[in-house]
C-alpha cells in the first residue's frame, strides 16, 4: 500500500469504473454513472487529501482509500474516509489495512476525528468500523461512524514512515517485474512462451 499521486489518476479511474452498481452505491451513497466518477477522479486534490492504493502484481489498483480533510473547527480537525476493494481481492484484509493506514495517517496529520459515511446495510464496513472501535450513529438506513484519534507519537510517526518506505520498495519491485515480462514478451515469439 502506498500513497497515490496525480500520476495515478488513470489507474484510479480504472479502479472506480470497474465497481458494479451495488458497490458504487455502497462507496458513494448512490449509483453514480461513469461520467460522475470521471469528474470525481479528475477533481481529487492530492495536495490537500491523501489517497492510499493497494496494487496487485500486474500493478492494477485493487484497493483505494481516500482520506479527505474537512475544514478545521478551532482545534478539532476531521477527515472523511471512503474505501473500495475490487471484488476479486476482498476478504484478504485489504479494506482493514487501508482503514488502519488512514487512521494512522490522520493521527500523524493532527486529525482528531476520523469520519465515515456508510449505508447501514453495509455489514462488512460496519464490522471493520466496529473492530476499530468506531462510534456508530444510525439514521434512516445510513450510518455515520466516528473514531476519536489519539495524538501522534513517535511510534505512530516512525511506523507510518517505515510502512511507506516498504510500500514504495514493493511497488518498484512489481514495476520492475512487469517491465522485465514486457521485454521478454517483446523479444520472444509468443508460441515460444506458451
Query: Which of these segments, 22-30, 36-44, 142-150, 176-184, binds ligand COA (CB under 6 A)?
Result: 22-30
Task: Name the grid cell of 6.
Answer: 496525480
Query: Which of these segments, 37-45, 80-88, 142-150, 163-171, binds ligand COA (CB under 6 A)?
Result: 80-88
The binder of ligand COA chosen from 2, 95, 106, 112 (CB under 6 A) = 95
Task: Name the grid cell of 67.
Answer: 482520506
The binder of ligand COA chosen from 83, 104, 114, 129 (CB under 6 A) = 83
Please identify the residue of the shown chain whose CB is closest to the bound ligand COA: 95
The binder of ligand COA chosen from 10, 17, 42, 123 (CB under 6 A) = 123
Q: Which is nearer to ligand COA, 53 or 95 (CB)?
A: 95
Contact 110, 94 (CB under 8 A): no
Q: Does 130 bind ligand COA (CB under 6 A)?
A: no
Q: Does 23 bind ligand COA (CB under 6 A)?
A: yes
The binder of ligand COA chosen from 92, 121, 135, 179 (CB under 6 A) = 92
Q: Does 145 bind ligand COA (CB under 6 A)?
A: no
For 60, what's the count of Cα atoms within 13 Å in the CB-facing half-sphere? Answer: 11
Q: Does 122 bind ligand COA (CB under 6 A)?
A: yes
Question: Which residues of this chain interact with ligand COA, rule CB under 6 A?
Answer: 23, 26-27, 82-85, 90-96, 116, 118, 122-125, 127-128, 131
Amino acid at each position: 500500500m502506498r500513497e497515490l499521486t496525480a500520476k495515478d489518476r488513470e489507474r484510479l479511474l480504472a479502479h472506480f469504473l470497474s465497481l458494479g452498481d451495488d458497490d458504487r452505491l455502497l462507496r458513494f451513497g448512490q449509483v453514480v454513472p461513469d461520467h460522475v466518477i470521471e469528474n470525481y477522479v479528475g477533481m481529487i486534490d492530492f495536495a490537500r487529501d491523501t489517497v492510499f492504493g493497494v496494487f496487485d502484481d500486474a500493478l492494477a489498483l485493487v484497493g483505494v482509500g481516500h482520506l479527505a480533510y474537512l475544514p478545521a473547527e478551532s482545534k478539532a480537525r476531521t477527515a472523511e474516509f471512503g474505501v473500495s476493494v475490487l471484488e476479486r481481492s476482498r476478504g484478504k484484509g485489504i479494506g482493514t489495512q487501508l482503514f488502519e493506514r488512514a487512521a494512522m495517517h490522520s493521527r500523524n496529520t493532527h486529525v482528531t476525528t476520523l469520519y465515515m459515511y456508510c449505508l447501514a446495510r453495509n455489514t462488512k464496513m460496519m464490522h471493520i468500523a466496529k473492530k476499530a472501535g468506531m462510534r456508530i450513529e444510525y439514521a434512516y438506513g445510513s450510518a455515520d461512524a466516528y473514531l476519536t484519534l489519539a495524538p501522534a507519537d513517535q511510534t505512530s510517526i516512525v511506523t507510518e514512515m517505515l510502512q511507506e518506505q516498504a510500500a514504495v520498495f514493493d511497488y518498484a519491485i512489481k514495476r520492475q517485474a512487469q517491465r522485465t515480462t514486457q521485454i521478454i514478451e517483446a523479444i520472444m515469439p509468443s508460441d515460444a512462451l506458451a
